[in-house]
């Protein structure tokens, strides 16, 4: 038996089983050894039946007195009920839809069970539903791993197979360097595997888990940091060390905030060094990221390079284009636009101008990085709303040139400590200050209750909208759905649009599945003030800038994440008028009220993001997929933050001594990194 053998060499694993294991990505015995349990059950102590407690999973043993034949054929089909007793009492064991189990039990014989007792709704009798069981004496006790399964493989089978390959755990060679293990107090891989699959006690299991979590984070951080070192290596484009960007800054109609100035200085240092820039620019909506981006692009152009900026939606890209083209034209800089929905002939013309360096700056959707776009001399790439761009797009970008300066901008606030580890490959700049003179947006949450029904609240809200419109302002109304849905109980944009059209004159509907020209036409009309109320889905979430719009109404606000609500709210309050945000809650729950209160009380995106994290749980916000990072098997970004920072520090130390992981003692480690990231470790730019 060898780690590299196929699992089919195991007794009882034929082609069919192998296929099932394949679904779990288990092909070799090594894969099997490295399979991480989902969770563990503590089955060490046996409890007497009288001591079984509702809700507390436990092992108990007793004689099957009676198999109660099922006369009841309800929705769940056949029910098998056993009466099990020991010296202290008796308890019901119930299996639904499992009459085949009848033959598994012989009345008068002893069995052991593990399950969570509950009370029957009807009779209030203590029951244990679907316990794990075995003949007394055959029942495995201890801390038992629960593995991820797939159809065709059972827990018991998985445990049996792990037991059969147990000697192999010691054959996996240690891949962490000894210094790392010393410095971070890690147990070796063999010990970790033994105690992951067959934990001797809680302490040893803890040590094993710590080692494996640390291990996984270390590999992740090594990959991210190595990529950063590489892209940051010599041979990056270095712009001239001068203050040309000042010309542009002085031409602005406002002075930069201190935070903007700091970010500009950080970016300037990157651009003027040999090291390619790889920077994340974070800033709340309206904090002035675009101005910072313009300054960077201006510097690139004055140095004889082209700059490209891409946005996640066509509307946003166009808006950037309109604004930037005007500001840059005054400086003799030529700006072009490119998107997938353009006519072929128009596109061709733009492509030619880019290739011939007749355009200095290109703004557009992800079309700007697609094949066929050849730049004459690209020196800077900026992406807006980074979280919408996946790894694939980042890789495409990379192919546009070696060591290009890259800046990604995001309005999704992530606390700095977390950003540093999540974006291990990026430097982070934060604009944590809004331009002066902004009026705080007044936010009110409308929760239907005894006094005011949802309908009354809605009337009040639209009366307010009416007054704002009469005063010359405009409003957004956002709904979670485009059309009515049977499955989801929420108001749709279409329904709201129809209602509002009865009361108001100039109302328009905007949603993601409309044709591009249609969307553009509507957005333009709204920006020109020809439309009073824009009813929309979240397509307006990012970027749209209409300073005269002062009211944001969000219907079924409980269906949006807090960070998303914060983004939506950022669409108003962009001009000199006092602005308002109304969050209409459809479902009056405690959670909805809490979330509403947070939005009423705070306008700080970072704070809101943290609260969102607490309320919604980490998975939704820090899922690795969303951030384009490889999947972790055992480590969890949000739960194991402290391990993550430790692993990051260790990764930094390792790379300080061996930046490319070329030393002999680091070869096994490097293999693990390439396993995780792919051959060229090109997760990032
Ligand atoms: P973001 O992209 O971060 O959401 P923008 O760059 O669109 O923010 O800026 C929002 C508005 O604030 C724009 O109208 C911009 O002209 C203006 N602005 C940016 N920086 C400043 C500043 N330092 N002082 C005053 N206004 C500013
Ligand atoms: Mg922006």
Asked if residue 32 has pLDDT above 90, the reply is yes
Q: Are strands 110-115 and 132-135 parallel, antiparallel or unpaired?
A: antiparallel
Q: Cα angle vertex 390, ends 385, 391, to 5°?
A: 130
Q: Are strands 405-410 and 378-384 parallel, antiparallel or unpaired?
A: parallel
Which protein residue has the closest C-alpha to ligand 1 atom 25?
435
State the pLDDT at residue 348.
94
Query: Does ligand 1 have an atom closer than 6 angstroms to the CB of 285?
Result: yes
Query: Does ligand 1 have an atom closer than 6 angstroms to the CB of 413?
Result: no
Q: What token pair was written down for 532?
A: 């009073």
Domains of the chain: which residue ranges?
Answer: 45-140, 239-272+288-410, 442-602
Query: Does ligand 1 have an atom closer than 6 angstroms to the CB of 263?
Result: no
Query: Does ligand 1 have an atom closer than 6 angstroms to the CB of 256?
Result: yes
Task: For 278-324, write each residue's pLDDT tens digit.
Answer: 888 988 878 899 999 999 999 999 999 999 999 877 878 888 999 99
CA of 573 to the centre of ligand 2 (A): 14
- Of 500 and 626, the one with more pLDDT: 500
Q: What token pair was written down for 281?
A: 């620019």
Task: For 326-342, write each residue's pLDDT tens digit.
Answer: 999 999 999 999 998 89
Which atom belonging to ligand 1 lies closest to the Cα atom of 257?
A: 23
Q: What is the mean pLDDT of the chain?
A: 85
Can you give the pTM of this predicted structure? 0.61
State the pLDDT at residue 226.
75
186, 176 in Cβ contact below 8 A? yes
CA of 292 to the centre of ligand 2 (A): 10
Query: Does ligand 1 have an atom closer than 6 angstroms to the CB of 575?
Result: no
State the pLDDT at residue 127.
92
**Per DSSP, what are the bridge partners of residue 421?**
none
Comparing CA positions, the residue from 393, 405, 401, 406 lying closest to residue 367 is 393
Query: Does ligand 1 have an atom closer than 6 angstroms to the CB of 290?
Result: yes
Task: For 555-598, write each residue's pLDDT tens digit.
Answer: 988 888 887 888 889 889 888 899 999 999 987 788 888 889 99
At the topology level, CATH places domain 239-272+288-410 in Rossmann fold (3.40.50)
Q: What token pair was written down for 637?
A: 């970004």
CA of 286 to the centre of ligand 1 (A): 5
Which protein residue has the closest C-alpha to ligand 1 atom 18?
288
Q: DSSP of 316-349, one letter per residue?
A: HHHHHHHHHHHHHHTTT--EEEE-TTS-HHHHHH
Phi and psi (nearest 5°) for 388?
-85, -10
Query: Does ligand 1 have an atom closer than 6 angstroms to the CB of 223?
Result: no
Phi and psi (nearest 5°) for 285?
-55, 135
152, 16 in Cβ contact below 8 A? yes
Ligand 1 mutation target, pool 290, 293, 323, 407, most atoms within 8 A of CB:
290
State the pLDDT at residue 622.
43
196, 205 in Cβ contact below 8 A? yes
- Quick count: other Cβ atoms within 10 Å of Cβ 198? 20
Which atom belonging to ligand 1 lies closest to the Cα atom of 437?
A: 25
State the pLDDT at residue 485.
62
The Cα–Cα gap between 325 and 311 comes to 15
Comparing CA positions, the residue from 628, 674, 678 lying closest to residue 394 is 628
Strand order in the sheet with 580-584: 442-446, 580-584, 549-554, 474-478, 533-536, 507-510
Ligand nearest to the CA of 252: 1
Q: What token pair was written down for 354?
A: 């880019």
The Cα–Cα gap between 197 and 158 comes to 10
State the pLDDT at residue 212.
93
State the pLDDT at residue 198.
94
State the pLDDT at residue 421.
64
Tally helices (H) and strands (E) across the chain. 22, 22
Percent of the chain whose predicted confidence (pLDDT) is above 70? 86
Averaged pLDDT for residues 649-657: 91
Task: For 501-518, write each residue's pLDDT tens digit.
Answer: 998 999 999 887 888 778
Query: Does ligand 1 have an atom closer than 6 angstroms to the CB of 566?
Result: no
State the pLDDT at residue 621.
43
Query: Does ligand 1 have an atom closer than 6 angstroms to the CB of 283?
Result: yes
Averaged pLDDT for residues 390-401: 56
Comparing CA positions, the residue from 264, 214, 274, 262 lying closest to residue 244 is 264
Banded pLDDT at 624 (limits 50, 70, 90): very low
Asked if residue 625 has pLDDT above 60, the reply is no
Q: Please classify residue 148 by burial: count the beta carbons closer than 10 Å to its beta carbon, then call 0-12 exposed, 13-18 middle and 19+ buried.
A: middle
The Cα–Cα gap between 250 and 449 comes to 54
State the pLDDT at residue 448.
85
Query: Does ligand 1 have an atom closer than 6 angstroms to the CB of 189?
Result: no
The Cα–Cα gap between 197 and 211 comes to 14
Task: For 135-191, write each residue's pLDDT tens digit.
Answer: 998 888 889 999 989 888 988 899 999 999 999 999 999 999 999 999 999 999 999
Q: What is the DSSP letter of 487?
A: S
Instruction: Reply yes or no on domain 442-602 having CATH 3.40.50.300.
Output: yes
CA of 174 to the centre of ligand 2 (A): 48
Asked if residue 458 has pLDDT above 50, the reply is yes
Query: Does ligand 1 have an atom closer than 6 angstroms to the CB of 288?
Result: yes
Ligand 1 mutation target, pool 291, 323, 327, 605, most atoms within 8 A of CB:
291
Which protein residue has the closest C-alpha to ligand 1 atom 20?
288
Comparing CA positions, the residue from 293, 314, 342 lying closest to residue 540 is 314
The superfamily in CATH containing domain 45-140 is Nucleic acid-binding proteins (2.40.50.140)
Query: Does ligand 1 have an atom closer than 6 angstroms to the CB of 543?
Result: no
Asked if residue 541 has pLDDT above 70, the reply is no
Banded pLDDT at 394 (limits 50, 70, 90): low
Query: Does ligand 1 have an atom closer than 6 angstroms to the CB of 435?
Result: yes
Ligand 1 mutation target, pool 435, 544, 579, most atoms within 8 A of CB:
435
CA of 288 to the centre of ligand 1 (A): 4
State the pLDDT at residue 492.
84
State the pLDDT at residue 353.
96
Q: Please classify residue 260 by burial: count the beta carbons closer than 10 Å to its beta carbon, then call 0-12 exposed, 13-18 middle and 19+ buried.
A: buried
Asked if residue 682 has pLDDT above 60, the reply is no
Q: Do 442-602 and 239-272+288-410 have the same topology in CATH?
A: yes
């Amino acid at each position: 038996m060898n780690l590299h053998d196929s699992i089919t060499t195991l007794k009882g694993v034929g082609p069919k089983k192998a296929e099932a294991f394949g679904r779990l990505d288990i092909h070799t015995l090594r894969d099997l050894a490295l399979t991480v349990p989902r969770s563990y059950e503590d089955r060490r102590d046996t409890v007497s039946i009288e001591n079984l407690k509702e809700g507390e999973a436990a092992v108990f043993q007793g004689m099957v007195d009676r198999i109660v034949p099922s006369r009841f054929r309800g929705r769940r089909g056949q029910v098998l009920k056993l009466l099990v007793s020991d010296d202290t009492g008796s308890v019901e064991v119930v299996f639904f839809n499992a009459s085949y189990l009848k033959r598994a039990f012989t009345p008068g014989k002893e069995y052991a069970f593990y399950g969570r007792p509950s009370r029957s709704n009807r009779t209030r009798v203590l029951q244990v539903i679907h316990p794990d069981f075995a003949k007394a004496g055959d029942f495995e006790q201890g801390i038992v791993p629960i593995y991820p399964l797939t159809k065709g493989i059972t827990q018991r089978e998985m445990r049996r197979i792990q037991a059969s390959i147990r000697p192999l755990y010691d054959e996996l060679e240690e891949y962490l360097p000894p210094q790392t293990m010393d410095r971070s107090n890690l147990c070796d891989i063999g010990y970790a595997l033994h105690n992951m699959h067959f934990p001797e006690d809680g302490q040893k299991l803890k040590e094993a888990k710590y080692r494996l979590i640390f291990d996984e984070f270390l590999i992740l951080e090594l990959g991210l940091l190595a990529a950063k070192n590489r892209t940051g290596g010599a041979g990056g484009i270095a712009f001239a060390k001068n203050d040309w960007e000042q010309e542009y800054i002085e031409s602005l109609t406002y002075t930069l905030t201190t935070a903007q100035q700091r970010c500009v200085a950080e970016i300037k240092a990157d651009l003027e060094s040999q090291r390619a820039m790889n920077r994340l620019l974070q800033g709340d909506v309206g904090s002035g990221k675009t101005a910072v981006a313009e300054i960077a692009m201006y510097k690139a152009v004055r140095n004889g390079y082209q700059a490209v900026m891409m946005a996640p939606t066509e509307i946003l890209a166009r808006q950037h284009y309109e604004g930037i083209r005007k500001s840059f034209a005054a400086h003799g800089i030529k700006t072009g636009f490119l998107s997938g929905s353009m006519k072929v002939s128009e596109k061709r013309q733009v492509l030619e101008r880019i290739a011939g360096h007749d355009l200095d700056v290109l703004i557009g959707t992800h079309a700007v990085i697609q094949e066929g776009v050849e730049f004459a001399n690209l020196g800077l790439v900026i992406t807006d709303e980074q979280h919408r761009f996946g790894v694939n797009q980042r890789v495409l970008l990379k192919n546009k040139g070696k060591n290009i300066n890259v800046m990604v901008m995001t309005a999704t606030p992530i606390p700095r400590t977390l950003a540093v580890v999540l974006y291990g490959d990026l430097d982070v700049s934060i604009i944590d200050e809004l331009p002066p003179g902004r009026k705080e947006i007044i936010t009110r949450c409308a929760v239907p209750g005894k006094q005011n029904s949802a309908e009354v609240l809605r009337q009040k809200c639209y009366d307010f909208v009416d007054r704002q419109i009469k005063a010359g302002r405009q409003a957004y109304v956002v709904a979670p759905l485009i059309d009515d849905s049977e499955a989801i109980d929420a108001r749709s944009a279409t329904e709201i649009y129809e209602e509002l059209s009865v009361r108001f004159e100039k109302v328009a509907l905007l949603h993601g599945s409309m044709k591009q020209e249609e969307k553009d036409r509507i957005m333009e009309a709204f920006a020109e003030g020809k439309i009073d109320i824009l009813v929309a889905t979240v397509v307006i979430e990012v970027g749209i800038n209409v300073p005269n719009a002062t009211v944001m109404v969000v219907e079924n606000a409980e269906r949006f994440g807090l960070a998303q609500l914060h983004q939506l709210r950022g669409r108003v309050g962009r001009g000199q008028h006092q602005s308002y945000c109304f969050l209409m809650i459809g479902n009056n729950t405690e959670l909805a009220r809490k979330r509403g209160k947070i939005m009423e009380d705070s306008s700080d995106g970072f704070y809101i993001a943290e609260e969102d994290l607490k309320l919604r749980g980490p998975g939704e916000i820090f899922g690795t997929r969303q951030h384009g990072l490889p999947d972790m098997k055992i480590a969890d970004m949000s739960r194991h933050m402290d391990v993550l920072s430790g692993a990051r520090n260790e990764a930094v130390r390792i790379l300080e001594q061996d930046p490319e992981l070329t030393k002999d003692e680091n070869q096994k480690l490097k293999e693990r990194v390439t396993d995780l990231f792919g051959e060229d470790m090109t997760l990032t730019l």
